[in-house]
Copies of this chain bind each other. A is one copy, B any other.
């Protein structure tokens, strides 16, 4: 958009960004936030406290990587996105962010990670109590699926979208990964099991986000396969970077409690490989992800930019 942004040299992506990726991510984050503002029940609607808790956990914070993945994947698959497709993408972006936010609420509960801080403010159960936090998370799952039912695209695509999201967050997806994580305390996992756990816990929703973008624009199987390779690599890279940041970044920078994996004696990429090798692994996964976007040509720029952002982030 601005002349100086054609190539700012800050990213090692394969094609120059037309808009600096940080700006693009910020714009998408604002977009999904304003969409959530509109779609979520107001805090003046009963039950007031439940709706306040849902908004507390969903709006105004977060990197919105999953929402960006929806948009970036759709753009990679199709040059122009008409109004209906854009509306459907907003719903998908809001859905994956709602699901992510619900998983964070439940993850922070005393019986899980017992964390008091999230996204730079009090965790939902600290602000609203455990029971209300539990219910807020429970109510956010159906909100995501309800949004799907309003997508102005062919019903066959909506059904595919429902299936993709549902499978990615169930017992063999995100919730399954959380269960594996519970059992990992004590540092007994090897690298292969750790990768499988993260593929489920974090990778599956990220991969589903990319697939949702592709489904909504009706992309074919070759494009969807490239997106799968990309998103699984970037999902794992995301987690490796998380593990590194947990030991190298302070809490105020992360917006959540730092060092908690060490305290909980959890298996992490840092505990298995050390900081240097974990950082090298993240770079290698970044390369795999970017290679998978080559076939999209210039339209894959935001996928590559997201990959850069995820590996270079400091929070």
A173 to B178, CA, bound (A): 27
Give the complex CA separation of A51 and B180 in angstroms.
Answer: 12
Given the interface pairs A112-B134, A156-B155, A176-B46, the reply to whether A142 lies near B141 with Cβ below 8 Å is yes
Give a binary string over A33-53; 1 marks a CB under 8 Å from any B CB, 0 the rest: 000000001000111011100
Q: Give bound CA distance, A183 to B48, whole Å.
A: 11
Please, which residues of chain B bring their CB within 8 A of the CB of A274? none
Is residue A146 within 8 Å, beta carbon to beta carbon, of the partner chain? yes
Give the chain B neighbours of A176 by CB distance below 8 A: 46-47, 50, 139
Q: Does A272 contact B (CB under 8 A)?
A: no
The contact size tier of chain A is 35 or more
Is B131's CB under 8 angstroms from A41's CB? no
Q: Cβ of B162 and Cβ of A145 under 8 Å apart?
A: yes
The 8 Å CB contact of A182, one of B132, B143, B166, is B132
**Smallest beta-carbon distance A264→chain B, Å:** 13
Instruction: Report the bound CA distance from A134 to B102 in whole Å.
Output: 12
Chain B: minimal CB distance from A6 (Å): 43
Most chain B CB inside 10 Å of its own CB: which residue of A135, A146, A148: A135
Across-interface contacts of A54 in B (CB, < 8 A): 171
Q: A141-B141, A155-B156 are in contact. Are A179 and B50 (CB under 8 A)?
A: yes
Known contacts A132-B179, A171-B54; A159 and B155 CB within 8 A of each other: yes
Q: How far is the CA of A155 from the CA of B262 in the complex (A)?
A: 48
Q: Which residues of B contact A110 (CB under 8 A)?
A: 111
Please, which residues of chain B bring their CB within 8 A of the CB of A138? 103, 106, 137-138, 141, 175, 178
How far is the CB of A173 from the nearest CB of chain B, in Å?
8
Which residues on B sit within 8 Å (CB–CB) of A179?
A: 47, 49-50, 132, 135
Given A149-B163, A162-B162: A171 in contact with B106 (beta carbons within 8 A):
no
Q: Are A111 and B139 in contact (CB under 8 A)?
A: no
Residue among A110, A143, A160 with most chain B CB within 10 A: A143
Give the CA-CA distance A129 to B112 in the complex, in Å.
11
Contacts of A106 in B (CB 8 A): 134-135, 138
**CA A145 to CA B149, docked complex, whole Å:** 12
Q: How far is the CA of A150 from the CA of B172 in the complex (A)?
A: 17
Q: Residue A120 at the B interface, CB < 8 A?
A: no
Residues of chain A touching chain B, judged by Cβ–Cβ distance below 8 Å, are 41, 45-47, 49-51, 54, 103, 106, 109-112, 129-132, 134-139, 141-143, 145-146, 148-150, 154-156, 158-160, 162-163, 165-167, 169-173, 175-176, 178-180, 182-183
- Interface pairs (7), CB distance under 8 Å: A103-B138, A134-B134, A139-B171, A142-B166, A149-B166, A158-B158, A158-B162
Q: Which 7 A-B pairs have the closest CB atoms?
A: A149-B163, A155-B155, A111-B130, A139-B175, A146-B166, A139-B171, A50-B179
Please name 6 further chain A to chain B contacts, defined as beta carbons within 8 Å, in addition to the given A50-B171, A143-B166, A143-B171, sorted by A numbering: A46-B176, A111-B134, A142-B165, A149-B159, A149-B166, A154-B155
